[in-house]
């Protein structure tokens, strides 16, 4: 791709944007640490290149009021400057090698959207020049997960086996519950145990079956779903008992579309350990550690 040398100097654009915000050459000069004469020269160069003024001069040029043409130009210049400063920060930070240009994460449905948003905001504060992409992935971690999907780190369930070439750190636990339609025959029963549960249809995501989370229950019938949210939707239709994190069921519980069963938790897993998985050769250990600490803080996990 071929580019021509730009006609508009970046200094002139910053000068224009700052004067437009503050309304005077002197205030703009003070903010940018330049002399008033330098600011005046940069503004004149910009207007000469454009071929039209972008400010109306008042009070012997002490006050500059942006005109209609300047107003039309200002948002585009803001956009250009934001992109430029982002590129500049990335270019100057290349040597530090603290973060990739783009980080791809997968949280699946193992943390609420609010939790995901807080993690993204935290990383954006620490690494403002890094782009973030959030993608779904297979919750079952395999040695090929990262190469096949292009994901850098995955929030997943603690496996019962070691995965070659993959590292993982526990970041928290998700509280699980059994919910079902208000008219289900087990509603109102206290301390429901395995013997009572196995006679009914269990609704759970496929990946839970793969990891063996339902093996201890061994219900007569299992309806597998692609995710927790669909499990709740099926339970709302009185199609079985959904096994989901509390946050997934919260809205339906408040609306009384489903109710929580009283469970004898000595026989079931009430808390599901969550781990952040990453390739053993992940090149940014500080970034990984920061995300682990942030997730642990979100889940209230101390270890």
pTM of the full predicted structure? 0.65
Q: How many CA atoms lie within 13 A of 295 on its CB side?
A: 27
Could you tell me the two tokens for 272?
A: 């599901």
Lowest-pLDDT choice from 187-196, 251-260, 267-276, 293-302: 267-276
Beta-bridge mates of residue 133? 104
pLDDT at 215 over 60: no
Residue 232 pLDDT level (bands cut at 50, 70, 90):
very high
- Cβ pair 157, 275 in contact under 8 A: yes
pLDDT bracket for residue 210 (50, 70, 90): low
| Residue 180 pLDDT greater than 90, yes or no | yes
> To the nearest whole percent, how much of the chain has pLDDT over 90?
44
Burial state string for 162-175 with b = 16 or more CB within 10 A and e = fewer than 16: ebeebebbbbbbbe
Q: What is the pLDDT of residue 162?
A: 75
Segment 70-88, tens digit of pLDDT: 999 999 999 988 888 877 7
Can you list the domains of the chain with their CATH numbers? 10-92 (1.10.10.10), 97-302 (3.40.190.290)
Tell me what the pLDDT averaged over the chain comes to. 86
pLDDT on residue 95: 59
Confidence of residue 158 (pLDDT cuts 50, 70, 90): confident
User: In the predicted model, is pLDDT for residue 257 greater than 70?
Assistant: yes
93 pLDDT band, cuts 50/70/90, is low
Place of tokens 């808390």: 271
pLDDT at 138: 65
pLDDT of residue 123: 93
For the stretch 245-249, contacts whose Cβ atoms lie closer than 8 Å and that sit 24 or more positions apart, written own/partner, are: 245/109, 245/110, 245/174, 245/175, 245/176, 245/177, 245/272, 246/174, 246/175, 246/176, 246/177, 247/112, 247/174, 248/109, 249/177, 249/179
Q: What crossing angle do the helices spanning 10-22 and 36-50 adopt, rounded to 10°?
A: 110
| Spatial separation of the C-alpha atoms in residues 139 and 147, rounded to whole Å | 15
């Amino acid at each position: 791709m071929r580019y021509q040398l730009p006609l508009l100097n970046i200094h002139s654009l910053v000068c224009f944007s700052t004067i437009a915000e503050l309304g005077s050459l002197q205030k703009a000069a003070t903010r940018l640490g330049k002399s008033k004469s330098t600011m005046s020269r940069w503004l004149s160069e910009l207007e000469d290149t454009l071929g039209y003024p972008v400010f109306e001069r008042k009070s012997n040029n002490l006050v500059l009021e942006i005109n209609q043409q300047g107003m039309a130009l200002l948002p585009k210049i803001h956009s250009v400057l934001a992109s430029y400063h982002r590129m500049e920060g990335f270019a100057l930070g290349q040597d530090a090698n603290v973060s990739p240009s783009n980080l791809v994460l997968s949280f699946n449905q193992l943390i609420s959207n609010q939790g995901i948003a807080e993690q993204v905001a935290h990383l954006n504060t620490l690494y403002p020049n890094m782009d973030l992409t959030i993608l779904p992935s297979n919750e079952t971690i395999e040695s090929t997960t990262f190469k096949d999907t292009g994901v850098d780190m995955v929030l997943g369930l603690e496996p019962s086996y070691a995965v070659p070439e993959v590292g993982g750190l526990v970041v928290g636990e998700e509280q699980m519950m059994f919910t079902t339609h208000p008219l289900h025959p087990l509603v109102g029963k206290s301390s429901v145990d395995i013997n009572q549960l196995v006679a009914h249809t269990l609704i759970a995501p496929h990946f839970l079956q793969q990891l063996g989370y339902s093996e201890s229950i061994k219900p007569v019938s299992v309806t597998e779903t692609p995710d927790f949210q669909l499990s709740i939707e099926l339970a709302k239709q009185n199609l079985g008992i959904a096994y989901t994190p509390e946050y997934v069921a919260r809205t339906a519980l408040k609306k009384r579309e489903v109710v929580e069963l009283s469970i004898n938790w000595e026989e079931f897993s009430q808390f599901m350990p969550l781990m952040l998985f990453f390739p053993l050769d992940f090149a940014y250990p500080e970034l990984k550690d920061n995300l682990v600490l942030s997730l642990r803080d979100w889940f209230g996990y101390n270890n």
